[in-house]
């Protein structure tokens, strides 16, 4: 299940009912209802919501239903915080949260602390704070011990098969399904060619999310898949993953490296990452 936001706070749910399929409760049946019917051969349930890592209260909510499972693993795919912030800048432009010509410096100044930014629920406006791994990762590590695993996003990019097979080994699953699996890029940041078409598509997407728990899903899903492919083919234009930082924004990039130095060193030390700790010219 991708981004159910199930373990987010009640306040978050109130502000995001249109895109959050289920409000958190300690009733295990409510959580299980997020998934298709669970047969006897199902070994693992996977729920993925990146916002969990930096949201207060999530650990307690996960642990409150954890006793219903033999084990609970927390898997974190961590991206270099500087390039993560740059990616958020581009995504904020893509989704229309900021105007197209907003500089990285302006976006940097727009960012606010998580507790304040949650009031408008647009994650791009606390992108800076949510990259402070050294601040919130230790809480997960302490709560879940060896069942908390952190992986480098760069490894996922370079060798996703190796990462997934290693993860299967940790959890105790058969990894042979990845022997001939074809990995593709999902949610790639793009340049939106028509803001009008983008907004119309996102409204349709909200309707689709609203009917996820209804019988209409089985009728609408094939239509949604066709529309989605047509939309991305018509309205997306690719951009480079790390390029495009102007000279005027290079100062802010340096500032980001300074700001995230503790987080970079923490991940390099704790998890064996090899993240750069200084800016280089693009």
Predicted pLDDT of residue 152: 97
Quote the number of domains for the chain. Answer: 1
Examine the pLDDT at 242 and tell me if it is beyond 50. no
- Of 43-52, 101-110, 247-256, give the lowest mean pLDDT range: 247-256
On whether residue 222 sits in a domain, the answer given is yes
On whether residue 181 sits in a domain, the answer given is no
Give which of 61, 49, 55, 45 is closest to 20, Cα–Cα. 49
On whether residue 279 sits in a domain, the answer given is no
Q: What are phi and psi of 90, to 5 degrees?
A: -70, -40
* Spatial distance between the Cα atoms of 181 and 261, rounded to a whole number of angstroms: 37
On whether residue 199 sits in a domain, the answer given is yes
On whether residue 196 sits in a domain, the answer given is yes
User: pLDDT digit string (tens) for 3-52?
Assistant: 889 999 888 888 777 777 788 999 999 999 888 888 888 889 999 999 99
Give which of 224, 126, 240 is closest to 191, Cα–Cα. 240
Instruction: Name beta bridge partners: 238.
Output: 190
Average pLDDT across the chain, whole number: 85
Q: Which domain holds residue 210?
A: 190-238
On whether residue 145 sits in a domain, the answer given is no
Using DSSP, state whether 24 is helix, strand or coil: coil
CA distances from 213 to 31, 34, 145, 173, 205 (A): 13, 8, 34, 29, 14
Pure H helices in 151-216:
153-158, 160-171, 195-210
Of residues 80 and 114, which shows the higher confidence score? 80
Give the model's confidence band at 241: pLDDT under 50 very low, under 70 low, under 90 confident, else very high.
Answer: very low
On whether residue 76 sits in a domain, the answer given is no
Using DSSP, state whether 237 is helix, strand or coil: strand
On whether residue 280 sits in a domain, the answer given is no
């Amino acid at each position: 299940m991708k981004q159910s936001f199930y373990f987010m706070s009640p306040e978050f749910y109130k502000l995001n009912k249109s895109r959050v399929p289920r409000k958190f409760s300690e009733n295990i049946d409510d959580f299980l209802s997020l998934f298709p019917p669970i047969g006897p051969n199902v070994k693992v349930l996977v729920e993925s919501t990146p916002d969990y890592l930096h949201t207060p209260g999530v650990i307690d909510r996960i642990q409150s239903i954890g006793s219903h499972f033999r084990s609970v693993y927390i898997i974190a795919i961590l991206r270099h915080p500087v390039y993560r912030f740059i990616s958020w800048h581009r995504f904020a432009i893509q989704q229309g949260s900021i105007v197209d010509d907003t500089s990285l410096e302006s976006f940097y100044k727009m960012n606010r602390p998580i507790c304040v930014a949650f009031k408008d629920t647009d994650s791009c406006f606390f992108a800076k704070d949510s990259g402070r791994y050294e601040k919130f990762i230790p809480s997960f590590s302490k709560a879940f011990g060896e069942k908390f695993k952190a992986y480098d996003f760069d490894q996922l990019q370079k060798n996703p098969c190796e990462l997934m097979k290693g993860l299967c080994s940790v959890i105790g699953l058969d990894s042979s399904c990845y022997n001939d699996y074809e990995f593709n890029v999902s949610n790639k940041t793009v340049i939106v060619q028509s803001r009008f078409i983008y907004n119309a598509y996102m409204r349709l997407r909200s309707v689709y999310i609203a009917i996820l728990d209804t019988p209409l899903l089985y009728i609408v899903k094939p239509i949604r898949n066709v529309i989605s492919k047509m939309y991305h083919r018509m309205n997306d234009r690719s951009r480079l993953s790390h390029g495009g930082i102007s000279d005027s924004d290079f100062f802010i990039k340096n500032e980001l490296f300074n700001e995230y130095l503790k987080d970079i060193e923490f991940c390099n030390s704790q998890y064996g990452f090899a993240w750069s700790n200084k800016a280089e010219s693009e």
